[in-house]
Amino acid sequence: MAETTVRLPEARYEFGGDEFVFVELDREMSLQANFKAMAITGALRDRELEGVVDICPSNASYLIRLDPGKLHPTELVEELRRLEHSVGELDGNRVVSTRIVDVPVLFDDPWTKETLLRFRDNHQDPNVTDLEYAARINGFSTVEELIEAIGSAPFIVTMLGFVPGLPFCYQMVPRERQIEVPKYVRPRTDTPERAFGYGGAFAVVYPVRGAGGYQLFGIAPAPVFDGTQSLPDFHDRIAFPQPSDILRYRPIDRAEYDHVRSEVEAGTFHYRIREVEFSPTAFLENPDSVNRDLLEELYR
Amino acid sequence: MNEVLVRSGGLYTTVQDAGRDGHYAIGMPPSGAMDRYSFTIANLLTGNPGSTAALEATYLGPELEFTDSRTVAVTGANSSVTINGASAPMWTSLRVGPGDVLGFGPLKTGARPYVAISGGLDVPEYLNSRSTYKLTGIGGFGGRALAEGDRVPLGRAQDAPAEGTTVPEEFLPEFPDVVELRLVVGLCSYRLTENALNSFFDTTWKVTKDADRIGYRLRGGTIDFVERQQPFGAGSDPANVVDLGYPIGSVQIPGGNEPIILLNDAVTGGGYATVGTVVSADRDRIAQTGTGGYVRFNATDVDSAVQARQDRDAWLHKLRTVLSG
């Protein structure tokens, strides 16, 4: 299968001025590149180096923010090169402790539909909805088939960012089964809070209302960001998703959407979460079987 | 409780301190004062520790009424400052009492005046910082810009420099017609042709009206990208890359004709190729460049970037010695 044959190039080290180091692991997206980013940034976190301010794994790269008064960027790059060679090669025995989470999504909902209809002039095909367009260019004969494909396999959080709490999610399927869509020709100036969008090969949930360029497919009833930290899942942090979380986007109907919304508003909602041990190597060898086990664990 | 009354918020005035570090990985930019140099000096003149929360105004400063005795100082953009309608000097420790009103007239040069008040602005901390981050409405005064009628709490004042203490001329920033910004080339600069990169440095760029704490959009030239086969997951636009992290100060060129410099409240990542990063010390100069102003980029390397930061810190340290002497 395609994913196992990905060979990563040598990492490319770049200075983002005096306060940042950017490391590109590959120019194209793959789970291998993301697993490598997670392994190196995880090892760097364990080092607790003086002068490292932020460690930001991203899809096929990572970014480190530093205090150059305490750590010179060239010294950091030397350390990162050492880490690349000691932990960057995927170790067959490596197991990641992570979570699998059920994330309900109401597809083809009235709110994102109203928004996308307002911005038809910014879109590749003004005559159809974003779901209809995405289904067509990905070879699905109906919108329902596209939605089923999104729900059939979980996604892994490969990056957080853009705005606080936004998870970039990559579906855990071989490349030939990836859904891929362009971003809007011109970004929208408005997106509903909690909108479920798709751009490139990534699915996202928009944490807050604002601009956006991803195709709009639906809306999640539960938040990914809670600045007031009132919901139980947010007591320790303001953003729910974490890197390497495995999220299953489950299509729901309007009745369930309304029910979850009422729980959120009452402050009683919590995500369905299971702690799991995840082996990247086992996954790359047999993704469908690992996904089946993950979903079984989630809904047991 | 001690507070300062806002009689007018000015154009866009927010509470800012040294920033909210340590949350970049979840997508939270640090915010904080954009012109760190002027901000720090305002605090020095009022006896506050250098990172104390102060006010950052944009173009037109606020009108503030005091309710108790304080030391106040205005730094940054070259503004007409008044106390009870009478002209007052910038870059100077000023003494005010209950009922006194600090006001602003038109700005002469620069873009952002800073107002520090002894004791600092005692708004609640959010994630260890009082800086305003408007996108998610957190920090500062209710997560927003100040408006008429606001009453902003003040902290307990410490010993301030004597009234009339003034920053010597040699420490004052300049506001040239064309602002030179040092840039470390790199990140995804491989996406540009060599000619495009040369042309980027040869162009004098004009700051558009889309210039705020999130970022500055520039106009003035067109930049060509290298042709390529689209990498999987990147997106079809020539300026697209697989979404990645953006350094603060990094420059991207969506569409090839509108460079954007990302600043303190910017998005932390996205899918556009970045071609370099303005050195941290020169963000002070961007902050003082307004819409209609001009900037040029000069290539530099990481060692010079670190040196520029150390030089600015050493200069501030020297000023601290001068003022306390």
pLDDT tens figures, B183-193:
999 999 999 99
pLDDT of residue A185: 84
Q: Given a cut of 70, is residue B92 above it in pLDDT?
A: yes
Compute CA A174 distance to the chain's CA centroid, rounded to the nearest angstrom.
16
Question: How far are the Cα atoms of A22, A154, A159, B297 from residue A33, in angstroms, in the given order?
Answer: 14, 18, 12, 33
What is the model's pLDDT at position B183? 98
Handedness of CA B77, B251, B185, B264 (dihedral sign): positive
Quick check: A270 and A230 in contact, CB under 8 A?
A: no
pLDDT of residue A88: 67
- Which chain B residues are Cβ-neighbours of A225 within 8 angstroms? 136
Counting one residue from chain A and one from chain B, the pairs whose CB atoms sit within 8 A come to 192
Q: Would you say residue B221 has pLDDT above 90?
A: yes
Tokens standing for residue A197: 């969008």
With beta carbons under 8 A apart, name residues in chain A contacting B241.
27
Residues A100 and A274 sit within 8 Å (Cβ to Cβ): yes
In this structure, the strands spanning B215-219 and A96-107 are unpaired
Nearest to B252, CA basis, from B187, B202, B303, B306: B187
The rounded distance, in Å, linking the Cα atoms of B67 and B3 is 6
Helix (H) or strand (E) holding A190: none
What value does the mean pLDDT of chain A take?
94
CA–CA separation, B129 and B80 (whole Å): 30
- B325: pLDDT strictly greater than 80: no
Tell me whether residues A165 and B236 touch, CB distance under 8 A.
no
Mean pLDDT value across residues A79-95: 84
pLDDT of residue A5: 61
CB atoms within 10 A of CB A154: 24
- Write out pLDDT tens, residues B39-58: 999 999 999 999 999 999 99
Which pLDDT band, with edges at 50, 70 and 90, does B255 fall under? confident
- In DSSP notation, B250-287 reads EEE-GGGT--EEE-TT--SEEEE-EEEEE-GGGHHHHH
Q: Are B121 and B153 in contact (CB under 8 A)?
A: yes
Q: Is residue A87 over pLDDT 90?
A: no
Of B28, B237, B247, nearest to A63 by CB-CB distance is: B247
**In the structure, what pLDDT confidence band is assigned to residue B237 with cuts at 50, 70 and 90?**
confident
Decide if A27 and B241 are in contact by the 8 Å CB cutoff. Answer: yes
pLDDT band, very low/low/confident/very high, at B1 (cuts 50, 70, 90): low
> Residue A3: what pLDDT?
47
Across A152-171, average pLDDT:
97
Establish if A66 touches chain B: CB-CB under 8 angstroms: no
A2 pLDDT exceeds 50?
A: no
Interface contact B233-A166, CB threshold 8 A: no
Mean pLDDT of A1-30: 87
B320 phi/psi in degrees, rounded to 5: -60, -45
Contact residues for A24 (Cβ-Cβ < 8 A; gap 6+): A11, A12, A14, A60, A61, B188, B244
Q: How confident is the model at residue A244 (pLDDT cuts 50, 70, 90)?
A: very high
Q: Check B233 against A201: CB less than 8 A apart.
A: yes
Span A113-138, pLDDT tens digits: 999 999 999 899 999 999 999 999 99
What integer is the mean pLDDT of B108-129? 97
Question: Does any CB of chain B come closer than 8 Å to the CB of residue A72?
Answer: yes
User: Mean of the pLDDT values across residues B148-155?
Assistant: 98
For β-strands B70-83 and A272-278, DSSP reports them as unpaired
Task: Check CB contact of A58 with chain B, cutoff 8 Å.
Answer: yes
CA distance A206 to chain B (A): 12
The reported pTM is 0.95
Query: What ipTM was predicted for this assembly?
Result: 0.97
Helix, strand, coil share of chain A (percent; to 5):
35, 25, 40
Please give the share of chain B, as a percent, with pLDDT higher than 70. 100
Residues 146-175 of A with CB under 8 A from B: 159-166, 168, 170, 175
Q: Which of A27, A53, A191 to mutate to test the interface with B (most CBs of B within 10 A)?
A: A27
CA of B59, closest CA in chain A: separation in Å?
A: 25
CB of A227 within 8 Å of a chain B CB? The answer is yes
Cα B315 to chain centroid, rounded: 18
Using the Cβ of A70 and the Cβ atoms of chain B, whether some distance falls under 8 Å is answered with: no
Name the pLDDT band for A51 (thresholds 50, 70, 90).
Answer: very high
Which token pair is B306?
A: 């670190």
Q: How far is A241 from chain B (nearest CA, A)?
A: 9
* pLDDT given for residue B236 in this prediction: 81
Question: Under an 8 A CB cutoff, do B233 and A162 touch?
Answer: no
pLDDT at A1 over 90: no
**Of how many residues is chain B composed?**
325
Which residues in chain B have Cβ-Cβ distances shorter than 8 Å to A234?
A: none
Give the residue on B whose Cα is nearest the Cα of A74: B302
β-strand pairing of A52-57 with A202-205: unpaired
